[in-house]
């Protein structure tokens, strides 16, 4: 091919380069000027974490009309990560390729860690709804914020609240066994417990820590092992499905501890737990962040939830839905302030978040330089009459706590 | 400590018998047809859901509903063999593998669409009861499930030993050419065998529903467990499947108690490796 050198001047090259740059830059400029924030909500909606993932998903679905009413312009894309970190990584890549401006997720620490790596490479903000592994905010990720306690924060706040519970109920447990799942979350809790328990000055001695596989058929061996140690208190870190297996085997083996307590984990408050165990689900207590019934956001969320889930027994799923809503609200608020969907701009706005009204109990949502919200208080919640009921602190409690738990046999 | 250890062994033994029944189906199908059912666990989960539905709708105890479920599974297995599996008999193993893995994926996803991911339990009146035998505490549901598993296994042994069809199936397994030469309808017998394999899956699934909660995600782990059991017991050996099930049940329980519960499945695989090294044909399998 011949080139006409007279037409191929320095000006032509410059103009061509400028035009090319403009064409190539168009998608990102359009993206940055988008009127709506496109959020990819990545959750484990199938696989062994599906129950909790579905619960968070309900939270994301119900958040859409609430955020719209509050004047936020967001569009959500719901993606299943199948309780599998590899799928989480692939789906995060896919979501970003398809134009997601930020990601919210992913309930599970392992899946969230996989997504965080992708978000960091692609400079797309990740707003963690629920995931406690400390490394999420300790590995220097610049495109991540977490409005959820770390494992250590959960354990530390949980132990303090459980100490208050024991003192309020005037029981005198001498020994405890700590049973935890051996997944990323459970192991993070174990590390927190190993580090914090010796200094927590608890009124009982921790005689053993037992790790179990959350995919196990049953927990009969684990319960037999605990029964042989005969502790007064079972401290548990579970998921919904294995919390059911635990109580089932505890009752079958006629093991009657003074209390079954969780220093901060899912399982004991899920509807699935109540459905499977009925009255046997009662009197388990857990220290967790909980939805604030007095906040405007919670009230709006509750009204929308009732409309969308008329058959659901609770006014709201106070943990999964609350945290998922707060994560989405945080993203929407940052977008409103940034006025841009550019990852760097969004991240800058996220870091300067100061959300006064939000769903969960606690002071305004803010993040430290690592992207962690350090002010997420816990309440003590006890299952009473098949409903999770706040029993401590006294100023927000609707019932007084009851320990020791009544015998299993009288309840069936 | 002795009573606790004995308790652990008894619990492992009872659970192992149900595992054994589930693996029996895999062993029967492979022993006769040389087809490895990679959708085994997934169909066991279908049976668990069937037991769950019959309990929810008709309040049928899974110990009773296992009979209609086993009959329905015989028809399902028979039909599957005639329509889907039969064209793949004699074809390359990787083709059979892909077919059955594909079938497993379809089954799991259909279950997910139909029932969602939540675990579905049956709350029987005796779900939380147990027997006190001296110092031992033994779950009622495990005792019932193990007895039912033993009864189904015994019925299968008797069927293969004393009925004409059972003898004909054994003839096919021993010498396919010879069986065809003497005029046995091999295609028909293969379909019956697949149906019988599915009876084991159906019955075991119904019994598993009393011990564990139905959930689509259980399928692959049940398939894997059935494989481990039949390889340890001897692929194609009916007695081997039961022995393998009991061995896995007891060894997992003991390892969980004495070492760490989260490491118990590691012991099944350690046992598997040991058997593969020392006796590759399995504990009760025939040397090829």
Q: Which residue has the tokens 């992913």?
A: A106
Residues A280, A151: Cα–Cα separation, whole Å: 28
Question: Do B211 and A217 lie within an 8 Å CB cutoff?
Answer: yes
Which chain B residues are closer than 8 Å to A408 by Cβ? 128
Q: Residue A280's domain is classified under what CATH number?
A: 3.40.50.2300
Residue of A nearest to B138 (CA): A253
A251 within domain boundaries: yes
Cα B278 to its chain centre, rounded Å, is 25
Domain ranges of chain B: 2-278
- Does residue A255 share a domain with residue A202? yes
> For B119, which of A53, A212, A241 is closest by C-beta distance?
A241
A223 within domain boundaries: yes
Say what the pLDDT of residue A177 is: 96
CB-based contact (8 Å) between A223 and chain B?
Answer: no
Say what the pLDDT of residue A19 is: 59
Domain boundary among A336, A351, A366: A351
Question: Do A215 and B221 lie within an 8 Å CB cutoff?
Answer: yes
Say what the pLDDT of residue A35 is: 84
For B222-234, what is the mean pLDDT? 92
Which chain B residues are closer than 8 Å to A226 by Cβ? none
CB-based contact (8 Å) between B183 and chain A?
Answer: no
A10 within domain boundaries: no
Question: Do A50 and B1 lie within an 8 Å CB cutoff?
Answer: no
End-to-end CA distance of chain A: 89
> For B117, which of A45, A212, A280 is closest by C-beta distance?
A45
Residues A343, B224: Cα–Cα separation, whole Å: 44
Which chain A residues are closer than 8 Å to B245 by Cβ? none
For chain A, which ranges sit under pLDDT 50? Answer: 1-6, 23-32
Q: Which residue has the tokens 């909790």?
A: A52
The contacts of residue B15 (CB under 8 Å, 6+ apart) are A217, A218, A220, B142, B146, B211, B249, B253
Q: Looking at the predicted structure, is the pLDDT value of residue B40 above 50?
A: yes
Please, how many CA atoms are within 13 Å of residue A358, restricted to the half-sphere of its CB?
29
Say what the pLDDT of residue A2 is: 42
Residue of A nearest to B7 (CA): A224
- Does residue A281 share a domain with residue A169? yes
CB-based contact (8 Å) between A46 and chain B?
Answer: yes
Domain boundary among A351, A369, A388: A351
- Does residue A284 share a domain with residue A297? no
Peptide bond into A266 cis (omega under 30): no
Question: Do A254 and B221 lie within an 8 Å CB cutoff?
Answer: no
> For B260, which of A53, A211, A216 is closest by C-beta distance?
A211
- Does residue A257 share a domain with residue A392? yes
Rounded to whole angstroms, what are the CA distances from A65 to A117, A149, A308, B8?
31, 27, 10, 53
For B223-228, what is the mean pLDDT? 92
Neighbours of B100 (CB within 10 A): 21
Whether A175 contacts A207, CB under 8 Å: yes
Report A:311-330 residues touching B (Cβ under 8 A): none
Mutate to test the interface with B, among A224, A279, A412 (most CBs of B within 10 A): A224
Say what the pLDDT of residue A350 is: 95
Q: Looking at the predicted structure, is the pLDDT value of residue B171 above 50?
A: yes
Q: Which residue has the tokens 């006409």?
A: A4
Beta pairing partners, A291:
A360
Beta pairing partners, A389:
A382
- Does residue A156 share a domain with residue A145? no
Report B:203-262 residues touching A (Cβ under 8 A): 211-213, 215-217, 221, 252-253, 256-257, 260-262
Say what the pLDDT of residue B177 is: 87
Beta pairing partners, A126:
A103, A144
Domain ranges, residue A303:
37-149+293-351
Question: What predicted TM-score, i.e. pTM, was given to this entire model?
Answer: 0.77
- Does residue A297 share a domain with residue A274? no
Say what the pLDDT of residue A192 is: 85
Which chain A residues are closer than 8 Å to B264 by Cβ? 213, 216, 221
Residue B18, helix vs strand vs coil:
helix
Mutate to test the interface with A, among B13, B118, B138 (most CBs of A within 10 A): B118
Which chain A residues are closer than 8 Å to B4 by Cβ? 224, 227-228
- Does residue A44 share a domain with residue A109? yes
Contacts across the A-B interface (CB distance below 8 Å):
102
> For A253, which of B123, B137, B213 is closest by C-beta distance?
B137
Residues A104, A78: Cα–Cα separation, whole Å: 10
Whether A359 contacts A298, CB under 8 Å: yes
Question: Do B130 and A408 lie within an 8 Å CB cutoff?
Answer: no
Top mean pLDDT of A184-193, B1-10, B186-195 is at B186-195
Instruction: Return the exposure string of A325-362: e unless at least 16 CB atoms fall within 10 Å of the residue's CB, then b.
Output: bbbbbbbbbbbebbebbbbebbbebbbebebeebbbbb
Mutate to test the interface with A, among B8, B108, B119 (most CBs of A within 10 A): B119
**For chain A, how many residues are written?**
412
Say what the pLDDT of residue A30 is: 46
- Does residue A305 share a domain with residue A242? no
Instruction: Return the exposure string of B206-245: e unless at least 16 CB atoms fall within 10 Å of the residue's CB, then b.
Output: bbbbbbbbbbbbbbbbbbebbbbbbbbbbbbbbbbbbbbb
What does the pLDDT look like over A65-113, one tens digit per residue? 999 998 999 999 999 998 899 999 999 999 999 999 999 988 989 999 9
Instruction: Return the exposure string of A46-57: e unless at least 16 CB atoms fall within 10 Å of the residue's CB, then b.
Output: bbbbbbbbbbbb
A313 within domain boundaries: yes
Q: Looking at the predicted structure, is the pLDDT value of residue B288 above 80?
A: no
| Nearest chain B Cα distance for residue A241, angstroms | 7
| Nearest chain A Cα distance for residue B204, angstroms | 14
CB-based contact (8 Å) between A408 and chain B?
Answer: yes
Whether B266 contacts B61, CB under 8 Å: no
A14 within domain boundaries: no
Residue of B nearest to A271 (CA): B118
Structure tokens, B53: 């539905």
Say what the pLDDT of residue A216 is: 82
Going by their DSSP bridges, the two strands B136-139 and A205-212 should be labelled as: unpaired
Helix (H) or strand (E) holding A37: strand A37-43
Say what the pLDDT of residue A29 is: 46
The DSSP code for A143 is S
> For B217, which of A48, A213, A228 is closest by C-beta distance?
A48
For B52-77, what is the mean pLDDT? 96
pLDDT above 70 coverage of chain A, percent: 91
A368 within domain boundaries: no
pLDDT band, residue B175 (cuts 50/70/90): confident
Neighbours of B272 (CB within 10 A): 18
| Domain B2-278 annotated CATH 2.60.480 | no
CB-based contact (8 Å) between B11 and chain A?
Answer: yes
- Does residue A166 share a domain with residue A136? no
CB-based contact (8 Å) between A411 and chain B?
Answer: no
Residues A267, A223: Cα–Cα separation, whole Å: 17
A25 within domain boundaries: no
Question: Do B137 and A50 lie within an 8 Å CB cutoff?
Answer: no
Residues B70, B50: Cα–Cα separation, whole Å: 10
| Nearest chain B Cα distance for residue A217, angstroms | 6
Which chain A residues are closer than 8 Å to B117 by Cβ? 45-47, 50-51, 53-54
Please tell me chain B's helix, strand, coil percentages from 3-state DSSP, rounded to the nearest 5.
Answer: 75, 5, 20
Whether B230 contacts B31, CB under 8 Å: no
Mark residue A230 as left, alpha or beta (left: phi above 0; alpha: psi -120 to 50; beta: remaining): left
Say what the pLDDT of residue A1 is: 40
A385 within domain boundaries: yes
Q: Per the structure, how many domains does chain A have?
A: 2
């Amino acid at each position: 091919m011949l080139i006409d050198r007279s037409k191929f001047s320095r000006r032509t090259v410059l103009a061509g380069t400028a035009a090319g740059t403009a064409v190539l830059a168009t998608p990102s400029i359009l993206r940055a000027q988008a009127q709506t924030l496109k959020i990819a909500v990545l959750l484990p909606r199938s696989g062994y974490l599906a129950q909790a993932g579905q619960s968070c998903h309900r939270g994301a679905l119900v958040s859409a009309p609430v955020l719209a009413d509050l004047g936020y312009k967001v569009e959500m894309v719901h993606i299943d990560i199948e309780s599998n970190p590899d799928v989480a990584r692939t789906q995060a890549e896919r979501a970003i390729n398809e134009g997601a401006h930020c990601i919210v997720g992913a309930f599970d620490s392992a899946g969230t860690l996989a997504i965080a790596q992708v978000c960091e490479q692609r400079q797309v903000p990740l707003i963690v709804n629920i995931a406690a592994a400390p490394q999420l905010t300790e590995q220097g990720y610049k495109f991540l914020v977490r409005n959820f306690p770390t494992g250590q924060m959960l354990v530390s706040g949980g132990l303090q609240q459980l100490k208050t519970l024991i003192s309020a109920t005037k029981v005198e447990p001498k020994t405890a066994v700590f049973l935890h799942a051996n997944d990323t979350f459970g192991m993070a809790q174990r590390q927190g417990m190993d580090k914090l328990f010796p200094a927590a000055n608890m009124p009982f001695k921790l005689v053993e820590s037992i790790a179990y596989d959350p995919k196990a058929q049953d927990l009969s061996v684990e319960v037999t092992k605990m029964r042989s140690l005969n502790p007064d208190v079972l401290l548990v870190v579970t998921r919904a499905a294995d919390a059911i297996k635990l109580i089932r085997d505890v009752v079958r083996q006629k093991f009657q501890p003074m209390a079954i307590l969780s220093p901060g984990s899912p399982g004991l408050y899920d509807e699935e737990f109540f459905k499977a165990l009925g009255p046997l689900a009662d009197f388990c207590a857990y220290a967790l962040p909980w939805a604030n019934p007095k906040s405007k956001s919670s009230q709006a969320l509750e009204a929308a939830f009732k409309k969308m889930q008329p058959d659901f027994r609770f006014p709201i799923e106070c943990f999964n839905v609350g945290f998922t809503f707060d994560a989405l609200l945080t993203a929407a608020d940052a977008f409103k302030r940034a006025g841009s969907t550019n990852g760097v701009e969004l991240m800058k706005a996220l870091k300067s978040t100061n959300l006064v009204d939000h769903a969960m109990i606690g002071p305004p949502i803010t993040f430290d330089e690592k992207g962690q919200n350090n002010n997420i208080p816990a309440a003590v919640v006890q299952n009473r009459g098949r409903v999770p009921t706040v029993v401590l602190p006294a100023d927000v409690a609707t019932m007084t706590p009851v320990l020791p738990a009544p015998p299993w046999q009288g309840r069936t | 400590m002795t009573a606790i250890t004995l308790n652990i062994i008894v619990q492992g033994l009872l659970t192992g018998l149900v595992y054994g029944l589930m693996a029996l189906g895999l062993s029967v199908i492979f022993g006769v047809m040389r087809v490895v059912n990679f959708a085994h666990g997934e169909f066991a989960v279908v049976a668990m859901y069937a037991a769950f539905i019959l309990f929810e709708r008709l309040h049928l105890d899974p110990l009773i509903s296992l009979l209609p479920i086993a009959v329905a599974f015989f028809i399902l297995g028979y039909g599957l063999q005639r329509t889907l599996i039969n064209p793949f008999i004699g074809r390359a193993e990787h083709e059979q593998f892909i077919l059955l893995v594909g079938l497993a994926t379809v089954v799991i996803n259909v279950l997910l669409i139909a029932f969602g991911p939540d675990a579905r339990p049956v709350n029987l009146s005796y779900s939380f009861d147990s027997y006190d035998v001296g110092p031992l505490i033994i779950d009622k549901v495990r005792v019932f499930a193990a007895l039912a598993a033993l009864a189904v296994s015994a019925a299968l042994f008797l069927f293969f030993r004393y009925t004409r069809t059972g003898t004909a199936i054994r003839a096919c397994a021993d010498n396919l050419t010879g069986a065809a030469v003497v005029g046995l309808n091999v295609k028909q017998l293969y379909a019956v065998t697949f149906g019988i394999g599915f009876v084991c899956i159906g019955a075991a699934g119904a019994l598993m529903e009393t011990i564990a909660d139905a959930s689509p995600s259980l399928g692959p782990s049940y398939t894997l467990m059935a494989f481990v059991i039949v390889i340890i017991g001897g692929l194609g050996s009916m007695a081997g499947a039961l022995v393998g099930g009991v061995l896995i049940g007891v060894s997992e329980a003991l390892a969980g108690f004495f070492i760490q519960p989260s490491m118990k499945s590691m012991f099944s695989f350690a046992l598997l490796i040991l058997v593969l090294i020392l006796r590759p044909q399995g504990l009760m399998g025939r040397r090829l």
